[in-house]
Amino acid sequence: MARLTIGRVAWRSLVYFARSNAAVAMGVAATTAVITGALLIGDSVRGSLRGLVVQRLSNVHVSLQARTFFDPTLLQTLSLPEGVAAVEPTVIASSAAVEFRGGGDNRTRRAGRVQALAVAPGFWESVQLPPGIASPGAEEVALNATLAAELGVEVGDEVTLRLGKIAGVPGDLSLGRPDDATVNIPRQRVAAVLPDDSIGGFSFHTNQAPPRNVFASLATVTDMLDTGGRVNGALVLAQLAGSFPDEVGQQWASELNLQFRPRLEDYGLQLDRHTRIFPDPNIDDPALGQTPPETVFDYYQLTSKELIIDLPTSAAVYDKVGHSNATRMLAYLANSIARIEAPQRDMRPDRRAAVFEARHPDDVLYNAQRGRPSMQLAIVEPPASIDDAIRASRMGDIGFGAEEEDLPKILSRLVPYSIVVGVDPDEELRLQDYRQIDFSDLYVPYCWINTWLAEQLDAQPGDWVRMTYYQPETADGQQVELATNLMIAGIVPITEPKRRFLRNRPAMFDRRPTVFNDPHMTPSVPGVTDQESISQWDLPFPLTYEIEPVDDEYWNNHRLTPKLFLPYRYAATRSMFASRFGATTSVRVPASKVSDPQVLRDAIDEALLPTRALKGLNFIPIRSQQLEASAGTTPFDALFLSLSFFVIVAALLLVFLLLKLGLQQRATQVGVWLALGFTAARIRSILLREQALVCLLGTAIGIAVGIGYAQLMLAGLETWWVGAITTRFLDFYMTPVSLVLGAVSGGVVSLLTIFLGLRQLSRLEPLVVLRGNASSLNLPDQGRPAIWAGLAAVAGVAGAATVVAGLNQTGMERAGAFFGSGMLLLLAALLALRYRIEVQMSAVQQPTRIGLAGMAFRSAIRNPGRSMLAVSMLAVTSFLISSMSVFQMSPTQRGYGGFDLIAESSIPIFKDPGSGAARQEMLGPKAAALQGVSIVSFRARLGADASCNNLYQVAEPTILGVPPRMAELHDYAPEKVAFDWVAAEDPENPWRGLERQGDGSRSYPVPVILDQNTAAWSLKQGARLGDTIELEIGGKPLYFRTVGLLSNSIFQGKLLIGKENFERLFPHETGFRFFLINSGDQPASQVAELLEEGWSDAGLDVQNSETILQQFLNVQNTYISAFQALGALGLLLGTLGLAAVQLRSVMERRRELALMQAIGFSPRRLNRLITAETFALLGTGVGIGILCAILALGPYVIEMGPQLSLLGPLLLLLVVVAVGFAVVQLTLRSVTRKPLLEALRNE
């Protein structure tokens, strides 16, 4: 006979009680399945996000996207790292528009916010294309499936591309050309439609929603953009046959960056040498034949194709070349110059002090070059749609604030359209040698004029001139004219030429010209330099001043030669000619200080290297970055674990109750063990080993069930709950780690629950258990009714007080009050029920007349702990299911501040659509239909969507520049900007918090307003006032400080900073691209249609604010729906637990029921009694939950009234309760149908 060990006993016991153990195993399987399923959902979401990156990037691993155009031959000289197939040049337009006219209705369809990539034929040879896709050729394009479906385009149709200018003079400059901001490329044949899950879905920003993409011919696009074959991007493609690790992109990017050395031309700069020798060798004049040649000037000059050299570039070059070797210049166009009487206001001490500060190193330019905040003087014309009160507040003095009667008397004619230059002190011009006024004790703004201008003005040193000029930056697309008064410090000479300028030939002199006879001080301006007269200038503004013949004569003789000179530090202030784009038009280096021109070029190239990241001239590992972002912002495993919390608890409760039920069935076995001398500890050890095997079996089953559960939940996310993920993209992924973790977690918590269920074995009496008395395995329940009553009263009062406190709260505070009051009321109700049970238990021994209902209640509470456990579970689950609907949000006006329309443009709009002038210009007579329509225009730096609609981690979110008008509207018409605020540093006007200046450094963070959901869930930083947000944007770290938090607003996914700070951080983000629109009394659909028609070239897309806000809220609402559905599953498991409780109760009372049947109770009456018991427990638990939910929802009921609907959750509860009740009855009937004779004999 085999030796009987504890293990063998446990195994035989496991087999003998297979039915009860199988029930426990199913409970363990349910727990394991839910945990494993949640972990597999996390795997699937992350795997699907990763899969999208792999599919959409195809074999692209590294990219380069520059702000300027560079020579593509630089890419050809690169030594390709191992595994790289090609580095393909491309032109990238991150925001374009596509138009198609055709289809069955022959209607024009437009798609905005399109990403355009112009690629060479080699790209299609190197990229991984889906089978059967033809690569486009010249004058052909390929669209991705999303864009093609939106436009209704098929292969063979023709579309028009609209691209924004990528480089050139910024449109916000007074000399910029906003009307030429769009380039149309018509009649592009659609050669292919690329699937979204291929290179057709390529994007520089991660989002599970597919982008809109168009691939065009590189030759066509560079020709239309007139780039001379230059490109602004590159894509690095891996070999198709290779398999590479995720990190390889970082290695390739590093290797390529070490080799890639852009030249100054690739930064948009140009270095020229300008030399003038007298006598001019091209003049055949015998009188000059004996004159020895003499160099008038000879220097190298660095200029920019953007007209202005930006601050980082000018500072880097100026510091590298050396301050003693280089001369900075700032050329500008003065509208008029006239001699005036000496203005008294410019002689005041405060005026002199202002000019003195502008001439010293602590001026705004000096600060800006060193990264410190500087004041920007902005003069903004009010848009046409602002209320009269706001308009009046903004129509104060402009310019220098001079009133009409303060204007000095003009003593000469107005000399129109003259070049003015601010110059650093240098050894070439030596302006100080021509200063004839001593300013040692008098600080006033001063200048030098040339002899021609002095003659025209009849001016002498010491006289004053008044100069008018346009503000360097337009105000919402409108020119603003300013004026300043200057004292003439001296007069510099110029020489008249013998022969004037011709279109492509310089002027020629028969007398020695001076260093001031130099038109190259001013950068060449197309449309100006090549014209024969001033009136023919092609400028973005009209020439309104009178041009006399003598002015044209100067132009023909001297072209862009300056007439007036200023100290550079004065000209380079924001009150004069400096702008956010820079304060330098050229940097000059005398040829005498340059031994070798190539050495100078190399020095400039080296100086520019630190700025290459700011220009985007560096390779980045796009694939590695996007794969890292695929980890996601929302951990779906943790999310579904939390959503399934009550399912897990219910499953563990079921395990506990089923274990107890099994122990009841084997009471005799336990008694035999005790009688044989087994200690309680030894019995517990045997049973624990047995149940460990049960857990192992349940865990194995749970893993298989968990895989199915995960797939079911994924199907739910793709259908019923698709609002949580925006679009269908999920595939099932499974990792061994999740399976092991799920199995271990489910098994351990189940085994711990079983261990707790076996603790009572130490208190058993052998003789009682040996007789098979199942009730002997119950722990005695003892209580003190007075304690329960007191605790219930305290919890009830606290819950009621919390409900009252929630009446005056909003947002998260009200939600906190709801949960606090709900839990307190639940606790109070359950404590009161426990008090009632204790009272009834103490009255059991007293003889009393009792009906069937009373008997059912007493039977239901015969084990208070067990009954309270079941009721508590049912109550809490019912409370949450019935109340969570209140958090399903619907769009309100406070979510979009009363702006019922939102618009975004693909291409910047420079003339504010909010102004009447811009509307009249774009719409003509139709502009009258926009009467009363208010538009607030924002600057925007487009980035990734950081709202809850994007599941990827976001590194660079979209940033909006908020105009001052938002604060002004809040002051004078707060109902027009009535957003819901969670918190704000300035509660009176939260938008004022954005006015504080910052430069993005750690010491001077930029004030930011953002939606609380964006801060808490997407960025995971900045969710409290005063918090610092750190982001790496454009290759450098930027710091923001939270000054306001919005609640459930249309600004989800965006950072809002002040317009002034925006222009400081992102000077080259021009125009307006985001618009809030209040349609007023006009039909919103009509307003949207009119705006889209008028600004179609910019790809303006107008959408309903409520629709957009609903898309944001759908995510939260979907999670709540999922929570309710899973809560219902938990409630269903809870009812199964109740079935176990009742089954156990009936088994304990079989003798009692047999006796009752013997004395006359019919089987039908006994069934009614047990049904009443079940209903008492089930109804009490669900009833308490619903009642507490209704009380806790008081503040919401008062506010929302009829809008608050509990019908859906109540119907869900009813269905679950009905199903659960039916299961309980079927279970109990299977027991009560058994013969009770044996139980009666035992009695």
Give tens-digit pLDDT for 427-482.
888 998 998 887 665 578 899 999 999 999 999 999 999 999 999 998 888 889 99
User: In 3D, which of 158, 30, 243, 1192 has the Cα closest to residue 709?
Assistant: 30
Residue 3 has pLDDT above 70, yes or no: no
Q: Which residues contact 22 (CB under 8 A, 6 or more apart)?
A: none
pLDDT, tens digit, for every residue of 1148-1164? 666 666 767 677 777 77
Residue 359 has pLDDT above 50, yes or no: no
In this structure, the chain runs to a length of 1243
CB 844 within 8 A of CB 864: no
Mean pLDDT over residues 294-315, rounded?
93
495: left (phi over 0), alpha (psi -120 to 50) or beta: beta
Q: Which of 455-464, 1014-1023, 1082-1091 has the lowest mean pLDDT?
A: 1014-1023
User: In 3D, which of 637, 749, 910, 796 has the Cα closest to residue 45?
Assistant: 637
Query: Which structure tokens are listed for 51?
Result: 């899969």
Q: What is the pLDDT of residue 653?
A: 78
Dist. CA 704–CA 603, nearest whole Å:
67
Mean pLDDT over residues 7-30, rounded?
79
Q: What is the pLDDT of residue 590?
A: 95
pLDDT band at 365 (very low <50, low <70, confident <90, very high): very low
Say which residue, 1216 or 467, is predicted with more confidence: 467
How large is the greatest C-alpha to C-alpha distance in the chain, in angstroms?
Answer: 149
Report the Cα–Cα distance between both ends of the chain, in Å, rounded: 38
Q: Regarding beta strands 182-194 and 140-144, do their DSSP bridges make them parallel or antiparallel, or are they unpaired?
A: parallel
Query: Which structure tokens are listed for 250?
Result: 């970082």
Q: What is the pLDDT of residue 850?
A: 62
Residue 763 has pLDDT above 60, yes or no: no
pLDDT band at 397 (very low <50, low <70, confident <90, very high): very low
103 burial via Cβ count (<10 Å: 0-12, 13-18, 19+): middle
Q: Which residues contact 736 (CB under 8 A, 6 or more apart)?
A: none
Q: Which of 233-242, 641-650, 1007-1016, 1131-1140 has the lowest mean pLDDT?
A: 1131-1140
Residue 780 has pLDDT above 50, yes or no: no
Residue 364 has pLDDT above 60, yes or no: no
Q: What is the pLDDT of residue 1121?
A: 78
Residue 605 has pLDDT above 60, yes or no: yes
Mean pLDDT over residues 650-675, rounded?
74
Say which residue, 870 or 405, is predicted with more confidence: 870
Taking all residues of the chain, what is their mean pLDDT, rounded to a whole number?
83
Dist. CA 1003–CA 847, nearest whole Å:
81
Q: What is the pLDDT of residue 761?
A: 61
CB 636 within 8 A of CB 948: no
What is the pTM for the complete model shown?
A: 0.85
Q: Which residues pair with 936 in a beta bridge?
A: 1076
Query: Which structure tokens are listed for 355?
Result: 């000019």
pLDDT, tens digit, for every residue of 101-155? 877 677 888 998 999 999 999 999 899 888 878 888 889 999 999 999 999 999 9
CB atoms within 10 A of CB 120: 19
Say which residue, 1174 or 285, is predicted with more confidence: 1174
pLDDT band at 815 (very low <50, low <70, confident <90, very high): low
Dist. CA 248–CA 624, nearest whole Å:
8
Mean pLDDT over residues 866-895, rounded?
77
User: In 3D, which of 779, 697, 688 has the Cα closest to residue 746?
Assistant: 697
Residue 361 has pLDDT above 60, yes or no: no
Residue 1030 has pLDDT above 70, yes or no: yes
**Tokens 């939102």 sit on residue:** 902
Start-end of H helices in 527-612: 549-558, 568-571, 597-608
Q: Which of 342-346, 533-537, 771-775 has the lowest mean pLDDT?
A: 771-775
Highest mean pLDDT: which of 447-461, 1118-1132, 1220-1234? 447-461
DSSP characters over 61-105 = EEEEEEEEEE-THHHHTS-PPTTEEEEEEEEEEEEEEEEEEETTT
pLDDT band at 285 (very low <50, low <70, confident <90, very high): low
pLDDT, tens digit, for every residue of 966-1005? 999 998 888 888 898 989 999 999 999 999 999 999 999 9
Residue 1129 has pLDDT above 90, yes or no: no
Dist. CA 1178–CA 288, nearest whole Å:
117
Dist. CA 141–CA 100, nearest whole Å:
13
Dist. CA 542–CA 556, nearest whole Å:
21
Distances (CA, A) of 967 to 238, 987, 1008: 51, 12, 14
Please tell me what DSSP assigns to residue 860.
H
The residue type of 17 is: F
Residue 373 has pLDDT above 60, yes or no: no
Query: Which structure tokens are listed for 679?
Result: 């200690």
Q: What is the pLDDT of residue 236?
A: 96
User: In 3D, which of 309, 310, 311 has the Cα closest to residue 369?
Assistant: 311
Q: What is the pLDDT of residue 358?
A: 46
CB 416 within 8 A of CB 336: yes
Mean pLDDT over residues 848-857, rounded?
61
Residue 504 has pLDDT above 60, yes or no: yes
Q: What is the pLDDT of residue 383?
A: 35
Mean pLDDT over residues 1107-1122, rounded?
85
Residue 354 has pLDDT above 50, yes or no: no
Q: Which of 36-40, 234-238, 422-426, 662-666 has the lowest mean pLDDT?
A: 662-666
Residue 1034 has pLDDT above 90, yes or no: no
Mean pLDDT over residues 1131-1135, rounded?
72
CB atoms within 10 A of CB 1147: 18
Query: Which structure tokens are listed for 38?
Result: 């949640």
Residue 217 has pLDDT above 80, yes or no: yes
**Tokens 């095997």 sit on residue:** 693
Q: What is the pLDDT of residue 387?
A: 39
Q: What is the pLDDT of residue 395?
A: 31
CB 307 within 8 A of CB 525: yes
Q: What is the pLDDT of residue 1077?
A: 95
pLDDT, tens digit, for every residue of 175-199? 888 777 788 999 999 999 999 999 9
Residue 1132 has pLDDT above 80, yes or no: no
Q: What is the pLDDT of residue 860?
A: 59
Say which residue, 689 or 671, is predicted with more confidence: 689
Q: What is the pLDDT of residue 400?
A: 37
Q: Which residues contact 921 (CB under 8 A, 6 or more apart)?
A: 911
What whole-number percentage of the chain has pLDDT above 70?
82
Query: Which structure tokens are listed for 160?
Result: 């028009």
pLDDT band at 390 (very low <50, low <70, confident <90, very high): very low
Residue 393 has pLDDT above 50, yes or no: no
CB 531 within 8 A of CB 167: no
Mean pLDDT over residues 859-871, rounded?
70
Q: What is the pLDDT of residue 1005?
A: 96
Q: What is the pLDDT of residue 844?
A: 56
Q: What is the pLDDT of residue 318?
A: 93
pLDDT band at 302 (very low <50, low <70, confident <90, very high): very high
Residue 1047 has pLDDT above 80, yes or no: yes
CB 266 within 8 A of CB 74: yes
What whole-number percentage of the chain has pLDDT above 90?
44
Mean pLDDT over residues 390-409, rounded?
45
Q: What is the pLDDT of residue 1243?
A: 53
